[in-house]
Structure 1
Amino acid sequence: MLTDSQANVLRGLAGKRAAIVGMGVTNVPLIRFLASRGVQATACDKKQADSLAAEMDSLAGLDVQYLLGPGYLDSLPSFDVVYLSPGVNPGQPEIEAARAAGAAVSSEIDLVLRLSAAPVVGITGSSGKTTTTTLTGLMLREDARRFHPDRQVLVGGNIGAPLIERVLTVGADDLIVLELSSFQLKLLQISPHVAAVLNITPNHLDVHPSMDDYIWSKENIVRHQTEQDWAVFGADNEVAQTMVERAPGRTMLFSASHSVPCGAFLDGDRLVTRWSDRGEPGAGDTVVAHRSDIRIPGMHNVQNALAAIAVCSVVGAHPGAMRDAIAAFSGVEHRLEPAGEIDGVSYINDSIATTPSRAIAALEAMERPVVLIAGGYDKHLPFCEMAQLALGKVTAVALVGVTADKIERALVEAAQRAGVEPPQIIRAGAFREAVEAARGAARPGDVVLLSPACASYGLFRNFEERGRTFKQLV
């Protein structure tokens, strides 16, 4: 049975003319949902029908109109509401024209938040989102298995399947956990009940007009919270920590470098939660797990575990359930994922590293000499810090893609500043050549690390395809 709030949202949609821009993974379920609720749905996509056969087949039998190919956005001002796919730039002139004509601009995530009868946890950050969201879901599911056997815990957003077609099945005792990107957050005028900002480092500056716009979009996850809501911030990240004073509701911190007044932190090898208002150790401290319980390498994954602990503590999860979920968690595909060992050389798939900061985290986690595979699409991010770290860890770098020149220049300049020789630099014309070159440069005891520091566009459809190709080549 629908709640009054859900019924009001659905009544407001019925009969509206809605343009759904982008027929990707997120929006096809949204189109089905809207069409089934009496919305006059029009699917808009720059691709032609022959490239969208599978998507259109999944909408067969529904009353859906199509605007495809060149000029697919021209009619947007005639619609009541425009739903954007996360990858669509909301600043395009046609979308601005629709907004000026009175159209509401929304998204699948916005509608999920408005329709959910369950508390929603939202997690964002420049890196660590997927690992933290996945681990949070596992912790809450383990807690539900032990103490709330009838509770549903749904995980979605930027990972997994869209939740719009399941949101009306959850009740007040259930939980929804969402990974949220800057693109998904930018349009929101509603915030999750529990929101986490893990860290903020430069990313997506090929799409966001400025770093300030990127930060603003990330902070939108907490901007519309109430006084009773919770926000969790990474205290080890300067930008995330500055958001604390602007948060409308209650706040928690997490840190792998120092204790916090309220939140989760690393104390020696112990992962601890603290609820004391005065920040004093004692009765308010609970040891949830030990660092040895964490199976995935790197200090950044300690931070991810602490973030998940802080979030789940707010929701009320039992420490034992959190510990067991941490101990059972072997990581997420393409994130420091072992891909095999050949002739004494380990191969690690970290294809998720689409930014220099992610590659830095991967390099910091390595305890053996590294042969690095890097390069790809240019997101207009600096490589100087990554290059500086590489001097002490990387023996050779196989470069591929349009950023190869920029990365090589950063490595050479870092070596000149340090007065040392740069790593061996190998230029490859194709990804396969880069993997073969890395194998040739590696010696027994080394690690060949795919951590490209760049997006995959121009070489692959996405980082998942790049990672799976690497594993197949290995």
Structure 2
Amino acid sequence: MDLQGRVAVVGVGVSNMALIRYLVSKGVSVTACDRHPAERLGDRAGELSRLGVRLVTGEAYLAPLAEHDLIFLTPGMPKHLPEIEAARRRGAVIAGEIGLVLDLCRAPVIGVTGSAGKTTTTTLIGEIMRVSGRQTYVGGNIGTVLIEKVEAIPPEAIVVLELSSFQLQLVQRSPHISVITNISPNHLDVHATMEEYVAAKKAIFRHQSPRDWLVLNADDPLVRSFAAEARSRVVLFSRRADPGGRDAAFIRDGQVVWRRDGQELPTLLLEEIKLPGLHNQENILAAMAACYLAGAPLSAVREVMTQFTGVEHRIEPVRVLDGVKWYNDSKATSPAEAVAALSTLPAPIVLIAGGSDKGIPFDPIAPLVAEKVKYLILTGPTAPKIEEAVRRGGYAGPVHRAADMAEAVALARAAAAPGDTVVLSPACASFDAYRNFEERGRHFKSLVEALQ
């Protein structure tokens, strides 16, 4: 990627601030653009001033794009806004921080995407590669922003990236090992169509060569169909049956099996896995395949797989109080992710759901709500849509609207009886009340821990 000419960076969040520092260190003249006024940017506005970066804020923050040849976008913004389309038509390059990381990285990259499971899978891969003795860097949607470190990463290291559809939309290079966990409707508040969302996910393998690897979930028909489009070598994984092929990861007779060049390597028993839920069996298979392809030994795979208990905000146990188990699943920002939690946790369930709208139908959660939820607490703008969906799906139990998380926790405490499960599994983004799902989850946990 040519960094010469006039460069604009749209959005001054954490990753783009790191990108701006990197560009300035290379002598690039940068214009930073952000919708929020300078006073809301706090210390970032001061840092930009010290760096000599021109800052444009407010309603007309995209106007400077007409003057720039290279434009870096913050990942979550729509890519089809008029100012962006106009810049693209006149020949400006539209890019993202993660695309520059992929261009500059000398080490092999393992990339993980999917509608659900990518954080757990990425974290597992990173831990296994570290235990293997490999110098490992985890970044992308989680971990560390790598743009300021990437040139110092040695070729013998390994980089593991969790990649969102927003990040993948702008890449022109694919990882050496690419993993797709599953695909279901998501982020339709930003992507114009489901087709655009799927096309963004495909970018994780679109630029691969025959020397690269693509790891696909054979249990997801859409994901499995991508094998026909791949130029790279394909490995299928399945928790349901042997997916076939000389290279595969699957479960047979309660045993997790890896097959490479037709030779099978039993790795561990399902009963040795501490991660709960069928969805996590898929995440384990995906991570195992990627790590074996990257050269990890059996000992490292077994050590991590038999000890790993999960990531923060994903079906995370918070406490047991008066015989009631409380779980934080704030990472469930889509219905598919909430389905995983409801499938895993025991009934009767008191469910706290709702938040900001991503344009996704909530019907997928309705059958499990009808089957397992005894009391439903809804928050945020999506509350009416969720209630309509679960009523259509046969839920006949009580529904209560909470003004905020504190009220939701208080209602859950009053509704739960010994033996019940209370879970925050929103099925929605958090931006109606929080900066991100992490802030939402930590607030929920603090409220639960404060219960007497």
How does the TM-score come out when normalised to structure 2?
Answer: 0.96
Report the counterpart of residue 97 of structure 1 in structure 2. 86
Unaligned 5+ runs, structure 2 = none
Report the counterpart of residue 473 of structure 1 in structure 2. 447
The partner residue of 1:153 within 124, 133, 136 is 136
The partner residue of 2:328 within 346, 349, 368 is 349
Report the counterpart of residue 161 of structure 2 in structure 1. 178
Over aligned residue pairs, what C-alpha RMSD do you find? 1.4
Report the counterpart of residue 143 of structure 1 in structure 2. 132
Q: The residue matched to 1:232 in structure 2 has which SS?
A: strand
Q: The residue matched to 2:8 in structure 1 has which SS?
A: strand
Note if 1:77 corresponds to 2:66.
yes
Q: Per-residue deviation at 1:414?
A: 1.7
Note if 1:269 corresponds to 2:243.
no
Report the counterpart of residue 293 of structure 2 in structure 1. 314
Task: Determine the C-alpha separation between the residues in 2 that align with 1:253 and 1:59.
Answer: 46
Q: Map 1:355-374 to 2 at 5 A.
A: 355-374=334-353
The partner residue of 1:247 within 230, 251, 255 is 230
Deviation per CA, 1:185-242: give whole Å up to 9, x if none.
0111111111111100000111111111100100111011111110011111111111
Task: Determine the C-alpha separation between the residues in 2 that align with 1:120 and 1:360.
Answer: 30
Report the counterpart of residue 37 of structure 1 in structure 2. 26
The partner residue of 1:205 within 165, 185, 188 is 188
User: What code does the residue aligned with 1:140 have?
Assistant: M
Q: Per-residue deviation at 1:368?
A: 3.5
For the 8 Å contact 2:122–2:161, the answer to whether it is kept is yes
Deviation per CA, 1:290-329: give whole Å up to 9, x if none.
2233222111111111110011111111111011012232
Deviation per CA, 1:1-53: give whole Å up to 9, x if none.
xxxxxxxx5xx42x421101110011001000011111111111112221223
Note if 1:442 corresponds to 2:427.
no
Deviation per CA, 1:382-423: give whole Å up to 9, x if none.
2222111222211111111122112222222222xxxxx622
Q: Map 1:113-152 to 2 at 5 A.
A: 113-144=102-133, 151-152=134-135
Specify whether residues 260 and 275 from structure 1 end up closer, same or farther in structure 2 by C-alpha distance, changes over 3 A only. farther
Note if 1:221 corresponds to 2:213.
no
Q: Per-residue deviation at 1:459?
A: 2.1
Deviation per CA, 1:117-166: give whole Å up to 9, x if none.
1111110000011110011000011112xxxxxx4210000112210011
User: What code does the residue aligned with 2:274 have?
Assistant: R
For the 8 Å contact 1:36–1:62, the answer to whether it is kept is no
Q: The residue matched to 1:26 in structure 2 has which SS?
A: helix
For the 8 Å contact 1:77–1:99, the answer to whether it is kept is no
- Give the aligned length: 446
Report the counterpart of residue 432 of structure 2 in structure 1. 458
Q: The residue matched to 1:373 in structure 2 has which SS?
A: strand
Q: The residue matched to 1:397 in structure 2 has which SS?
A: strand
For the 8 Å contact 2:347–2:373, the answer to whether it is kept is no
Q: Map 1:380-399 to 2 at 5 A.
A: 380-399=359-378
Q: The residue matched to 2:342 in structure 1 has which SS?
A: helix
For the 8 Å contact 1:288–1:320, the answer to whether it is kept is no
Note if 1:410 corresponds to 2:389.
yes
Q: The residue matched to 2:210 in structure 1 has which SS?
A: coil
Task: Determine the C-alpha separation between the residues in 2 that align with 1:274 and 1:215.
Answer: 29
The partner residue of 1:164 within 137, 147, 150 is 147
For the 8 Å contact 1:18–1:79, the answer to whether it is kept is yes
User: What code does the residue aligned with 2:429 have?
Assistant: A
For the 8 Å contact 2:48–2:55, the answer to whether it is kept is no
